[in-house]
Amino acid sequence: MDAEKKAQIGGFIQKFFIDGVPHNKAIGMRFLDISREYVRFALDYNPRFAGHPETGVIHGGVITAFMDSCSGAAVMSKIRGKSRAATLDLRIDYMKPAPPGETLLCEAQCYHTTRHIAFVRAETFIDSKDELIATSSATFALMPFDISKMQEAFTERSAKKDQA
């Protein structure tokens, strides 16, 4: 993949999968790199995400969101955005606590897809994979975009809003 293509896909992922998703934006994740094999995201340390006030260690919930999003981006880049991907299951193993102050990196690999399912594994680490924080394994359901259904949901939601 050449540099120009990487920058183009990277810009797309940053815009639609990070900045366009309120929770991802709130957490402050960033697109880092993409190749044929993987997608990499970064997550800078923020004391607001500590799960323990005295140690400052990041809560596992942030890592769940981080790994889920990076895995989702790996699926979308693999299928070139042809369907919508929804997480079916996600297993996370926590190897060791994320030290406060460190930027976390996540590398996700979508290693197989079928017509309806995508399989992804991901690793969260500090500088190199010698320092693993967490590993995950996930499956995603691939659903074709259905514009009429989306419109229906939108109308229904607007109607609810009007009632309220």
The contact set with another protein (CB under 8 A) reads 20-27, 47-54, 58-62, 64-66, 68-69, 84, 86-94, 97, 150, 153-154, 157
Residue placing its CB nearer to another protein in the complex, 22 or 144: 22
Least distance (Å) between residue 36 CB and another protein: 26
Q: Which residue has the tokens 């690793």?
A: 123
Q: How buried is residue 154: exposed, middle or buried, by Cβ count under 10 Å (0-12/13-18/19+)? A: exposed
Least distance (Å) between residue 52 CB and another protein: 6
How many Å is the maximal CA-CA distance in the chain? 55
Q: Which residue has the tokens 């109607």?
A: 159
Least distance (Å) between residue 68 CB and another protein: 5
Residue placing its CB nearer to another protein in the complex, 64 or 113: 64
Query: Which token pair is 157?
Result: 């939601």
Residue placing its CB nearer to another protein in the complex, 35 or 151: 151
Contacts of 120 (CB under 8 A, 6+ apart): 71, 74, 75, 108, 109, 110, 111, 137, 138, 139, 140
Least distance (Å) between residue 91 CB and another protein: 4
Residue placing its CB nearer to another protein in the complex, 35 or 55: 55
